[in-house]
Chain A
Amino acid sequence: MNCHDCPQSCRLKPHPQRRRFFGLLPGKSSKQSLAVAHKKVALVGPPNVGKSLIFNLLTKTYVTVSNYPGTTVEVAQGNANVAGEILTFCDTPGMYSLIPITEEERVARDLVLSQKVDLVIHVVDAKNLDRMLNLTLQLIEAKLPVLLVVNMMDEARQLGLRIDEHQLAYQLGIPVVLMSAVQKIGLRKLIAEVADRVQPPLLSTSY
């Protein structure tokens, strides 16, 4: 199924046909979003880093979250009120790179590349930062507005890893939020950063 054909696609369609999937329950809000075009925020990143969990926290809906790569195979969307403005969040299947290998990666790439996305939240696993920053660099190169979420900080700390978020933000030139989504740590900071980025007229594509 092409991304734009799926009912959860972020692209606004005149005839929203809702078909429900295992775990892919479009939130109550997804209907409203079809009336007005809200600003779009896409959650992207490698498989199994917690995009769906963060999506659930942000939109207060539920899409299936599991501990294996490839749980999410379609784009899900839900709305949330961030600092007085309603934003449409899109949860995407995992992708490693802008050049897709599998079908689900294509779905994610299509969302990011072929539509105008107002903010890209790139979620990565704190334990494997070196492998995961590749995609961040590609997104920055593409001049997309990127926010980096370093998730699973709890597990990284257990391994004795420490990450300097300010240094990371400085090196990449984009905002960075450290999170432990399971414990809801870092959620408020993330929401604040999202609000900062999408707030008009501060939205800019380069930092």
Chain B
Amino acid sequence: MSNLLFYPPLIESAIARIEALIRDRFDSTLSPRSLALLLLQNDPETRSQLQGEPYFPEIEAIIRETQANFTESLSFAIAESRHNLALAIAQEVTVAPQHPKAVKYEWLHHLTVHPLTGIPLLLLILYFGIYQFVGVFGGGTLVDSIEGFFEAQINPQVDILVAAIIPWPILQDLFAHDYGIITLGLRYAIAIVLPIVTTFFLMFSCLEDSGYLPRLSLLVDRIFKTMGLSGRSIIPLILGLGCGTMATLVTRTLESKRERVIATLLLALTVPCSAQLGVILALLSQEPVALFVWTIVMLAIFVGIGFLAGKAIPGESTCFYMEIPPLRIPRPQAILTKTYVRLKWYFGEVLPLFILASVLIWIGKITGLFGILIKGLEPIVTALGLPKAAAPTFLYGFFRRDYGAAGMFDLHDSGILSSQQLVVAAVTLTLFMPCIAQLQFMFKERGIKTTIAIASFVILFAFSLGYGLNQLLTIMELSL
């Protein structure tokens, strides 16, 4: 087979010399020829594997010598030969029509990527897809009916049933009443989180399969460049609107370490996950001014922090290159399967944590630890201009963002939050630490030092911004 692909003679002789050096002396799954080529292309991994070998200096000398004969880099010369052969083979085996047929949906592609039409299209998608479908329909209509059903039918029954089985009030609290596993944990998961997450995943799967996301990357590339990101990063960030934990993992697709750190920071600080977003949209949709203030503040923070992070974190911004797949009509079967699988995953993650949260709250209440923590949070919550009753919500919020958001839903239902307080609470909770799972992934993907730096910044920033926003809104006497 080695007769197939020939490189320029000078490179071929270098390959032969390196091959002779490593043959039988270095064990690899790759052929010596392939290893030699990787070395000539300066592949860091292969280099580090061979670094310790006694003949490595000799290899380096061969590479230097060969490079001296070329004006372009060796990698370029090698890639060129390879590309020429690939092109020749492809041309020989492909029969293309003389007048290429137009690509399907070509006009739609232009609509999505041209700023003049692309931005209105994006706003339409956001309005109908996220606001109307996830916020109003999922977070409003669906949550209201399931939540109402829980409150009216299931919770009282559970309270009675538990009281009948377990005689001790302390143990009763574990399962029923205000903070019970069933009455709070399960209710949050099924009545509040499930409808929102389902609607979001349905919508998101459609976007994914249509091929819109890469086009969105093209559209936002210029704005993102100012933040030290490339258009590519829109995918993890939009994914973060679904689940920040998964999005943190997807930051792997970004090219430079710098981009990955900035995207992780933005995900932790500014991007609300679907459960949180749904609850916030549902709550604020009743008060348009509040929703407007929240949107503007979050957008400003996103761009502002992105810009500052781009300045503060050293490194070059990467060049944007992405394969643009064709637009396709999503297949319903594929969408449903995907949504189902994601929901299953999500609930596998969420349910145990929600139950654990209920148990922890229960233990905290018995031991009095919960009271101490809430007491500690109360001054902070009061400083934000919020009622003391909001303190537990922040405590849950640390545990899981969606749990905290669901707590806010309860708080608003009981009618103790004014519009201004609602905005401040919504902004602070959105900025506040993501859930434990996301934190865990940040440790895994970004390392301890970066994660601790990001986490402390996020907590500090969330509270100071909430404080500032409350002061500002008070001074402006905005009657929300």
List residues of chain B with CB within 8 A of the CB of A136.
Answer: 86
Given A113-B29, A142-B30: A162 and B95 interface contact (C-beta under 8 Å): yes
In the bound complex, what is the Cα–Cα distance between A168 and B86 (angstroms)?
A: 11
In the bound complex, what is the Cα–Cα distance between A107 and B253 (angstroms)?
A: 11
Closest to B253 in A: A70
Q: Mark A153-175, 1 if CB is under 8 A from B, else 0.
A: 00100111111110110011100
Determine if B208 and A114 form an interchain contact, defined as CB atoms under 8 angstroms apart: no
In the bound complex, what is the Cα–Cα distance between A37 and B233 (angstroms)?
A: 38
The reply on A25 being an interface residue by CB < 8 A is yes
Determine if A66 and B209 form an interchain contact, defined as CB atoms under 8 angstroms apart: yes
Closest to B242 in A: A22
Determine if A73 and B89 form an interchain contact, defined as CB atoms under 8 angstroms apart: no
List residues of chain A with CB within 8 A of the CB of B92.
Answer: 167, 171
Determine if A21 and B246 form an interchain contact, defined as CB atoms under 8 angstroms apart: yes
Chain B interface residues toward A at CB < 8 A: 1-2, 4-5, 28-31, 33-34, 37-38, 41, 43, 45, 75, 79, 82-83, 85-87, 89-97, 100-101, 103-104, 205, 208-211, 213-214, 232, 235, 243, 246, 249-250, 252-255, 260, 322-323, 325-326, 328, 330-331, 334, 337-338, 341-342, 344-346, 348-349, 444-445
In the bound complex, what is the Cα–Cα distance between A130 and B444 (angstroms)?
A: 38
List residues of chain A with CB within 8 A of the CB of B208.
Answer: 66-68, 71
- Which of A114, A130, A165 is close to B29, meaning CB atoms less than 8 Å apart? A114
Measured between C-beta atoms, what is the minimum distance from A184 to chain B in Å?
A: 12
Given A1-B445, A115-B29, A138-B82: A171 and B210 interface contact (C-beta under 8 Å): no
Which of chain A's residues 79-113 have a Cβ closer than 8 Å to chain B? 93, 98-104, 107, 109, 112-113
Measured between C-beta atoms, what is the minimum distance from A17 to chain B in Å?
A: 13
List residues of chain A with CB within 8 A of the CB of B43.
Answer: 98-99
In the bound complex, what is the Cα–Cα distance between A135 and B336 (angstroms)?
A: 34
Closest to B444 in A: A1
Measured between C-beta atoms, what is the minimum distance from B65 to chain A in Å?
A: 21
List residues of chain A with CB within 8 A of the CB of B85.
Answer: 133, 137
| Interface of A, helix, strand, loop or mixed by DSSP | loop
Measured between C-beta atoms, what is the minimum distance from B197 to chain A in Å?
A: 12
Closest to A109 in B: B45
Given A129-B90, A143-B31: A137 and B345 interface contact (C-beta under 8 Å): no
Measured between C-beta atoms, what is the minimum distance from A115 to chain B in Å?
A: 7
Measured between C-beta atoms, what is the minimum distance from A109 to chain B in Å?
A: 8
Taking each of B43, B86, B205, B337, which has the highest tally of chain A beta carbons within 10 Å of its own beta carbon? B86
List residues of chain B with CB within 8 A of the CB of A67.
Answer: 208-211, 325, 328, 330
List residues of chain B with CB within 8 A of the CB of A69.
Answer: 214, 253, 322-323, 325
